[in-house]
Each structure stands twice: as structure tokens, then as C-alpha cells.
Amino acid sequence: MIASIEIRTRGQGLYEITDRVEAVVAQAGIDSGLCTILIQHTSASLTIQENADPSARRDLERWLARLVPEDDPLFTHRAEGPDDMPSHVKAALTSTTLSIPIAGGRLALGAWQGIFLWEHRRQGRPRTCVIHLGA
């Protein structure tokens, strides 16, 4: 089964989408199977990270922003602004697709794991994830 969800971001940052994905799994009524998520963009990405302490996500964002700064003279691809090319690099270093087993009708994530959409562009925008559910 294929579904898709839209997430409207409000600028750079990690947006938890675990509940959105769980809702798709629940609606499909799948007890045991596999849930695969693809984000249909190359300037935003996916990651599974700690969803308890927000300081972990803040540090992660700041660390990656420092590794891939906007004012890098190496970048020539600047058509959409200085945050364009860093977004592609950050996406390449994280994930575009994730596959999560489903057990007992729920995503089999660890106790502290959440699924996050990582917006790398300064300006928020609607982002689409395609979800495949299989047996």
C-alpha cells in the first residue's frame, strides 16, 4: 500500500513525524510488516534520532550547520541562494529513505527513537513523504 503525507516546515530544523507515520500504519491495519518512507526532496532529509531531550537535536543541527556552512567559497551552485547547496550536502550525509519494521500494529522503534524530517532550507515549505507499507 502506498500513501503520502505532507509536512509544512517553518524553516531549518528537525520536525518529528513519528505520529504522522504511525497514523498511516494504524489506518492500514497492518499488524506485522515493513514501513518505508521516502522524502521527495533533495534539500530536506530524514533521520531517526532521540525524541526525548531537545538539546540533542539542537546540538545535532548546530554541528551539521558548522560542518556545512553557507559561505563556503567551494560552492558554485547558488541559484536558489546561499542555503541551497549546503542543503544538498546535508541531505547526502543523512537519509532520503528509511525502512522500519512494523510489529504488533506499531512501528518497531526503540523507546527513545523518533522519525524526523530535517528541513535544510531557511524558508519553510510543504514537503512530501511517500510511504510504502508491505507485509
Q: Which residues bind a copy of itself (CB under 8 A)?
A: 1-2, 32-34, 36, 38-42, 47-50, 53, 55-56, 58-60, 62-64, 66, 68, 72, 74-77, 79, 84-85, 88-89, 91-103, 108-113, 128, 130-132, 134-135
The CB-of-104 to a copy of itself minimum distance in angstroms stands at 9
The least CB distance from residue 25 to a copy of itself, in Å, is: 13
Q: Least distance (Å) from a copy of itself to the CB of residue 100? A: 6
| Strand (E) or helix (H) holding 86 | helix 84-93
d(CA 44, CA 18): 16
Cα–chain center distance at 10: 14
Which is nearest to 109 in space by CA: 119, 118, 99, 117? 99
